[in-house]
Amino acid sequence: MQVHSFPALAKLSGDPLPVPDHYIGTLPSSMFAGMMLGAVGWGTCSDLLGRSAAFNATLFFTALFGILASFARSFWLLCVLLFLLGSAVGVRQYPFSTVEIAYLS
């Protein structure tokens, strides 16, 4: 998963956001925290609205927060946007595979 490469890429890219070394683990942690909470939220949403509507919403929010994260001007804004991105992308890995198969067939 590309989340694990954030700390290494932050140091190799010339540090466009000046972040102390002891904060660099906050990036993947915020993404994983969003994935954890997103699984509960989107699971409930898929029970209420149906899997197809929830799946389409996660696609939209993944694109939205991914684009917004690419324009983050500060480290903490990036952490918040990665949290929101994780809440949308984390749930699509396993429970919605049946919806993906239904779209392919």
Question: Domain boundaries in the chain?
Answer: 32-104
Q: Share the mean pLDDT of the chain.
A: 77
- Mean pLDDT value across residues 30-34: 90
**What's residue 89's pLDDT?**
83
pLDDT confidence band for 33 (50 / 70 / 90): very high
DSSP string for 58-79:
HHHHHHHHHHHHHT--SHHHHH
**What's residue 75's pLDDT?**
84
**What's residue 52's pLDDT?**
78
Residue 105 has pLDDT above 90, yes or no: no
Could you read off the pLDDT of 42-93 as tens digits, one per residue?
A: 888 888 888 778 888 888 999 999 899 888 888 889 889 999 999 988 666 6
- Mean pLDDT value across residues 27-56: 85
**3-class secondary structure, 73:** coil
